A and B are shown apart, each in its own frame.
Chain A
């Protein structure tokens, strides 16, 4: 089959690879009908996340049709079922899964011992996302093997186009969880850093959950326009002072809830801390560039909440923990517990409360995937979200 394969930094190719096979009775194989490129994939493309090996298949936002089911998954899935596959692989049976903390499932990461060395404990296995999280083949391919398939799937009805459903796999629940982590109150200002796909979903979620105002920070004009269309007030961090504008919009009090939808590759125009991070990251003394975290901790209203869906990989430097502690800020973060939200979100899509397909700007075949990685990374051609059709 054809698949997008990681070969090294900024080197992803569309290769022919062997078709996946059932390896365990809980597995299923799906024929992929749509998959997408995620901002998290860019951290692998740019190679800021450690733990990739040449030959790994990319992709963790995938949907399709079940074509083969292992014996132990037969009760839950059958050939022909239409499914969206969550990016977190879950067993559905461990203590964390029982609590709904699916992204820290204790049993699906077959390289759990390595993850435990890095993070103290193992976290869930993820599709197409480094050997730290299991080294499972990803879904930017014609076929995908789904381990623990009896639990790791979201059944979706026929008759709704892929485009409306695909993002149940990741960015929609991720934006949703980012907003839910804020426990939004009617008089809250929610400030969201990053108007990428995750930021866009977080904006829609914060609106649906009834924030007083939603403010978004980015510098890409098309993305800011799309954010505005969804109801957000926009700040262009290249042109204005983020801190000043946020204080202005909140009568000097600061936003109650701050969401980091940027992650470890934050840009900052000419600030001292940004140069410091670039140098340290380049010299391998720091793994991430936490400019956004610093800004959030500084501007957030005392007793407010920092919600961090943006991905970080390792050690962060110069975090103003004094501000966090003394202002009594709450931090909520994590990879998304996708299946915890998807039943409810599917309903909201069916009811017409939201249509997540608004974010798609490019739909191409798998062979064009490698080019699209670059276009998406460089935010060229108005690119916000890429869907691949194998």
Chain B
């Protein structure tokens, strides 16, 4: 998401609740899309929309693409707005199934209620994300002069070499580099 990956927004920002929500919607998109693509017939039957299997599978592909867009993009905001548009399309399509004498009208009503619920989440998420990404981003503060060393870095290197590391924090003698005799290193024998 925007706050987390490399080369996107300024890094190091914590993942926010909205980012988590966006990711959840992305996953939901993909799962729902797969269901539509895999079982368009069952879905059409349940909604009394026989003959519209192709349309349902097509909508499934749209859901999957949007989901991938949300999860993979640098900024999910436009993709979430895409979901909002898709929701509107879904609702309009479902509304057509309410016309005439469809025996499955009840199921259609339930489906519309469910879509409306997700739509509310989508709108909320898209709005919050849009508000959260004011362009241009604030500039990164310049800390390149904060050395901490009044005498400069170069001068400070090893300035505390007078410090004696207490015994309990010292490397055991046998592990110290200078306890080994200064022998030249012969090349490794070929094995």
Contact = CB atoms under 8 A, between A and B. Distances in A.
Contacts of B136: none
Interface stretch (B60-68, B123-131, B139-147): B139-147
Contacts of B160: 205, 208-210, 348, 353
B141 to A, nearest CB: 3
Nearest to A188: B177
Given A207-B153, A305-B171, A382-B141, A238 B14 contact: no
Interface stretch (B3-11, B27-35, B104-112): B3-11
A210 B154 CA distance: 11
Interface in B126-179: 138, 140-151, 153, 156-161, 163, 165-166, 168-171, 175-177
Interface in A257-288: 269
Contact of B13 (A208, A344, A379): A379
Contacts of A358: 146-148
Contacts of A236: 6, 11
A219 B177 CA distance: 33
Contacts of A380: 13
Contacts of A379: 12-14
Contact of B146 (A205, A229, A238, A239): A229
Interface in A201-241: 204-205, 207-210, 218-223, 225-226, 228-231, 236, 238-239
Contacts of A354: 148-150, 156
A58 B162 CA distance: 37
A339 interface: no
A229 B144 contact: yes
Contacts of B149: 204, 207, 230-231, 353-355
Interface residues of A, number: 53
Nearest to B175: A303
B10 A221 contact: yes
A226 B143 contact: yes
B170 A208 contact: no
B170 A239 contact: no
Interface in B1-54: 4-7, 10-14
A269 B158 CA distance: 35
Nearest to B165: A183
Contacts of B163: 180, 208-209, 344
Contacts of B140: 221-222, 225, 382
Given A220-B12, A238-B5, A354-B149, 13 more contacts: A181-B169, A183-B171, A204-B149, A221-B11, A225-B143, A229-B143, A229-B146, A229-B147, A230-B147, A231-B153, A330-B175, A332-B169, A353-B156
17 contacts: A207-B149, A208-B156, A208-B158, A210-B158, A220-B12, A221-B10, A222-B12, A230-B146, A236-B6, A238-B4, A238-B5, A305-B171, A330-B171, A348-B160, A352-B150, A352-B151, A355-B148
Interface of A: 99-100, 180-181, 183, 185-187, 200, 204-205, 207-210, 218-223, 225-226, 228-231, 236, 238-239, 269, 303, 305, 330, 332, 340, 344, 348, 352-356, 358-359, 361, 377-382, 384
Across the A-B interface, give the 5 residue pairs with the lowest CB-CB distance, nearest first.
Answer: A220-B12, A210-B158, A382-B141, A208-B160, A358-B148
